[in-house]
Structure 1
Amino acid sequence: MAVLKVIEVLANSDESWEDATKNALEQASKSVKNIRSVYINEQSASVKDGKIDDYRVNVKITFEVK
């Protein structure tokens, strides 16, 4: 039986929410092994001069504890 743990990670990107999610996964992968899934919990963006300036995501990352 596998034991799974979930952590919450916040990340951002100036390109897209998808890129922000990739950034969250990339950074988490540096210290967390056996990642199984990423769940996008929330999306938001900051606006500057009437345009999106920064895409932000709050993701839940699930990984197996060995």
Structure 2
Amino acid sequence: MSIAKVTEVISASTVGIEDAVKQGVARASKTLDNITGVWVSDIKCTVNGDAITEWRCTLKLTFVLKD
């Protein structure tokens, strides 16, 4: 039987949403083992003038706990 846990992180990117998610998962996987899924629960943007300068994503990461 497996037990999973969910943790929440916020990641950012100047490139776009997909990049922010990839960076968040890559960074979280440095300290969390067995990540099995990610849910983007919120997206926010920083705007300067009429341009989006940064994308911020709130991620809920699911990982399986070790026995």
Structure-2-length-normalised TM-score: 0.96
Identity %: 35
Are positions 1:22 and 2:22 aligned together? yes
1:49 deviation in Å? Answer: 1.7
2:30 aligned with 1:33: no
Aligned residues: 66
> 1:9, CA displacement in angstroms?
0.5
- RMSD, aligned CA: 0.5
Moved over 4 A (4+): none
Q: How far, CA to CA, are the matches of 2:11 and 2:17 in structure 1?
A: 9
State the alpha-carbon separation in 1 of the partners of residues 54 and 48 from structure 2: 9
What one-letter code is carried by the residue in structure 2 that aligns with 1:45?
Answer: C
Structure 2, gaps ≥5 residues long:
none
Taking the TM superposition and a 5 Å limit, the aligned residue runs for 1:1-66 are: 1-66=1-66
TM-score, normalised via structure 1 length: 0.97
**In structure 1, how many angstroms separate the alpha carbons of the residues matched to 2:52 and 2:14?**
8
